[in-house]
Amino acid sequence: MRTRIALLIPTVALAAALTACGDGGPGKADFMAKADAACAPGNTAISTTAKPTNAPQVATAAGTAATSIDSQVGALRALKAPSGKDKAPAQAVITQIADVSAPTRALQDAAGKADDAAMARSTLDMQAKADTAARSAEAYGMTQCGTQLKLGLGNMVDGVKNVMKVTYVSKAVGLCRDFDRKSNAVADPGSSLASLGRYLDQVLPLSDKLVKDLRAIPVPPGDEAAVADYLSAMDALNVKSKEAGAAAKANNPRLLGALAQELEVAGTAATAKLDAYGIRGCGSVAA
Q: What is the pLDDT of residues 12-68, one digit of tens each?
A: 444 444 444 445 678 999 999 999 999 999 999 999 999 999 999 999 999 999 999
Please indicate, yes or no, if residue 171 is contained in any of the structural domains: no
- In this predicted structure, the answer to whether residue 5 has a pLDDT above a threshold of 70 is no
Same domain flag for 220 and 254: yes
Q: What is the pLDDT of residues 99-156, one digit of tens each?
A: 999 999 999 999 999 999 999 999 999 999 999 999 999 999 999 999 999 999 999 9
Same domain flag for 86 and 145: yes
Residue range of the domain that includes 206: 186-286
For residue 280, the model assigns a pLDDT of: 83
Same domain flag for 154 and 27: yes
The pLDDT-based confidence of 165 (bands split at 50, 70, 90) is very high
- In this predicted structure, the answer to whether residue 200 has a pLDDT above a threshold of 80 is yes
Using the 3D structure, point to which of 90, 125, 160 is the last residue of a domain: 160
User: For all residues of the chain together, what is the average pLDDT?
Assistant: 90
Which positions ≥6 away from 125 have C-beta within 8 Å? 103, 106
Closest CA to 130 of 30, 60, 39: 39
Q: Among 139-148, 170-179, 187-196, 266-275, which is the least confidently predicted range? A: 187-196
CA 116 from chain centre, in angstroms, equals 12
- For residues 72 and 42, the answer to whether their CB atoms sit within 8 Å is yes
Closest CA to 108 of 144, 66, 45: 66
Say how far apart CA 284 and CA 266 lie, in whole Å: 13
Please indicate, yes or no, if residue 88 is contained in any of the structural domains: yes
Please indicate, yes or no, if residue 2 is contained in any of the structural domains: no
Same domain flag for 126 and 31: yes
Please indicate, yes or no, if residue 17 is contained in any of the structural domains: no
Same domain flag for 46 and 148: yes
Say how far apart CA 97 and CA 65 lie, in whole Å: 12
Same domain flag for 156 and 83: yes
- For residues 97 and 133, the answer to whether their CB atoms sit within 8 Å is yes
Q: Please state the domain count of the chain.
A: 2
Percent of all residues in the chain with a pLDDT value above 70, rounded to a whole number: 90
Same domain flag for 134 and 63: yes
Same domain flag for 144 and 241: no
Please indicate, yes or no, if residue 170 is contained in any of the structural domains: no
